[in-house]
């Protein structure tokens, strides 16, 4: 498990990192927390000539309140995001998803932005990001631009980031008072999810006023279950009230078939997990 030799640079500012990226281009890989890249290097599935480490850029770390939304620095570790009181108060769904993300060791090394930019459809953060309508801030040679969650995830391991851009932060609108649940279905604890459902719900008394649902591993990118979301509006938060809407959760999805389940089984799981996630988010689970 020895990676092929590579050159290593650890800039201390985004500008320096962008310069290194511009210089080495296709021969470079950016390393954030390294929880996905290092296994790839060690198994020699990839052998970049340069590795650009963002770990020393302090400005990429931390969570801050910007009025109607939070800004989560791309290099903030999962652990720090998960423990952050602002995230807990305004974007509970992210806190909930992080408790299910990998294990404690990975959560202390892996980063919020690194995992999202890796764009594994089975990663645990894409579905919450989509459900919450997060905005991705990318910085490139020409400055900074914002990409919606819908546009950010392009395909398996592919994002809207250009080769010369770095993801610097993720903006998350505030969902104060919304309930949230991340229902993750695995065979063993440290496994990637076979399917997971990220649901956050605003209640009006006993009725669901609004629901936002993200799906993990139900296609080549994290998805939103919009048909189910719409059908939930105005429903009572009861088993019966939610079940019919949840049955729409797999609409328009194209889940993979692999060792852990065929596509039809995953579609079925998505409906069951959506029902459970919504009921739980509504405080009825």
Partner 1 sequence: MTATQEPAAQQEIGRDRRRKEDQRLITGRTRWTDNITLPGMLHLAMVRSPFPHARITNIDTAAAKAATNVVAVYTGADLGEGQGACINAWPVVTDQVTPAHLPMPIDRVAFAGETVAVVVARSAAAARDAAELVEVDYEELPAALDLKEAAAAHENGGAIAHPDLGTNVSAVWRFDSAEAGTGGDVEQAIAEARENGIVIEREYRQQRLIPAFMEPRSTVVDPTGEQITVWSATQVPHILRFAMAATTGVPESKIRVIAPDVGGGFGGKLQQTPEEMITFAVARRLGKPVKFTETRSESLLTAHHGRDQWQRLTLAATKEGRVTGLKVDLLADLGAYVAIVGGGVPVLGAFMFNAIYKFPAYQFQTTNVLTNKTWTDAYRGAGRPEATFAIERLMDELANELGKDPLEVRELNWITHEEFPFTTVAGLEYDSGNYEAATARAKEMFGYDALRAEQAERRARGDKVQLGLGVSTFTEMCGLAPSRVLGSLNYGAGGWEHAEVRMLATGKVEVVTGASAHGQGHETAFSQIAADRLGVPFEDVEVLHGDTQISHKGLDTYGSRSLVVGGEALVRALDKVIDKARPVAAHLLEAAADDLEFSGGRFTVKGTDQGMAIQEIATAVFAAHNLPDGMEPSLDSEATYDPVNFNYPHGTHLCAVEVDTETGQVKLRKYVCCDDIGVVINPLIVAGQVHGGLVQGIAQALWEEAVYDENGTLVTGSFVDYLLPTAADTISFEIDHTTSPSTTNSLGTKGVGEAGTIASTPAVVNAVVDALRPYGVHDVAMPCTPERVWRAINEGSPGGETTEAAMPHFDETEGGVQ
Binding residues (CB under 8 A) for partner 1: these are 1-2, 4-5, 29-32, 36-37, 39-40, 43-46, 54, 74, 113-114, 117-120, 122, 156-159, 161, 163, 165-167, 185, 187-192, 194, 217, 256-262, 265, 268-269, 272-273
Residue 245 neighbours by CB under 8 Å, 6+ apart: 228, 231, 232, 235, 278
- Residue 54 beta carbon to partner 1: minimum distance, rounded to whole angstroms: 8
Closest residue by Cα to residue 91 from 176, 150, 168:
176
Q: Which is nearer to partner 1, 54 or 71 (CB)?
A: 54
Question: Ramachandran region of residue 256, left (φ > 0), alpha (ψ -120 to 50) or beta?
Answer: beta
- Residue 265 beta carbon to partner 1: minimum distance, rounded to whole angstroms: 5
Q: Which is nearer to partner 1, 112 or 178 (CB)?
A: 112
End-to-end CA distance of the chain: 44
Q: Which is nearer to partner 1, 9 or 209 (CB)?
A: 9
Q: Which is nearer to partner 1, 36 or 181 (CB)?
A: 36
Q: Which is nearer to partner 1, 46 or 230 (CB)?
A: 46
Q: Which is nearer to partner 1, 23 or 163 (CB)?
A: 163
Q: Which is nearer to partner 1, 42 or 64 (CB)?
A: 42
Q: What are phi and psi of 233, to 5 degrees?
A: -60, 125
């Amino acid at each position: 498990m020895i990676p092929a030799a590579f050159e290593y640079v650890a800039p201390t500012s985004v500008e320096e990192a962008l310069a290194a990226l511009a210089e080495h281009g296709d021969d470079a890989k950016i390393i954030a927390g390294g929880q996905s890249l290092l296994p790839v290097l060690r198994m020699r599935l990839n052998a970049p000539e340069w590795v650009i480490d963002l770990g020393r850029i302090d400005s990429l770390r931390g969570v801050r309140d910007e009025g109607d939304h939070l800004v989560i620095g791309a290099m903030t570790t999962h652990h720090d995001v998960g423990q952050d009181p602002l995230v807990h108060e305004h974007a509970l769904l992210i806190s909930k998803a992080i408790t299910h993300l990998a294990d404690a060791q990975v959560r202390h090394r892996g980063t919020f932005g690194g995992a999202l930019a890796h764009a594994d459809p089975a990663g645990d953060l894409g579905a919450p990001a989509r459900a919450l309508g997060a905005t991705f801030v990318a910085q490139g040679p020409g400055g900074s631009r914002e990409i919606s969650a819908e546009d950010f995830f392009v395909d398996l391991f592919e994002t809207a980031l250009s080769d010369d851009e770095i993801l610097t932060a993720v903006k998350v609108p505030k969902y104060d008072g919304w309930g949230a649940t991340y229902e993750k279905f695995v065979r063993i604890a440290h496994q990637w999810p076979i399917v997971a459902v990220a649901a956050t719900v605003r209640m009006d008394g006993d009725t669901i006023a609004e629901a936002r649902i993200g799906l993990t591993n139900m296609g080549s990118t994290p998805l939103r279950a919009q048909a189910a979301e719409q059908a939930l509006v105005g429903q009572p938060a009861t088993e019966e009230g939610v079940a019919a809407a949840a049955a729409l959760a797999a609409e328009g999805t194209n889940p993979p078939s692999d060792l852990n389940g065929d596509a039809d089984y995953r579609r079925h799981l998505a409906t069951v997990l959506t029902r459970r996630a919504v009921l739980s988010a509504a405080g009825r689970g």
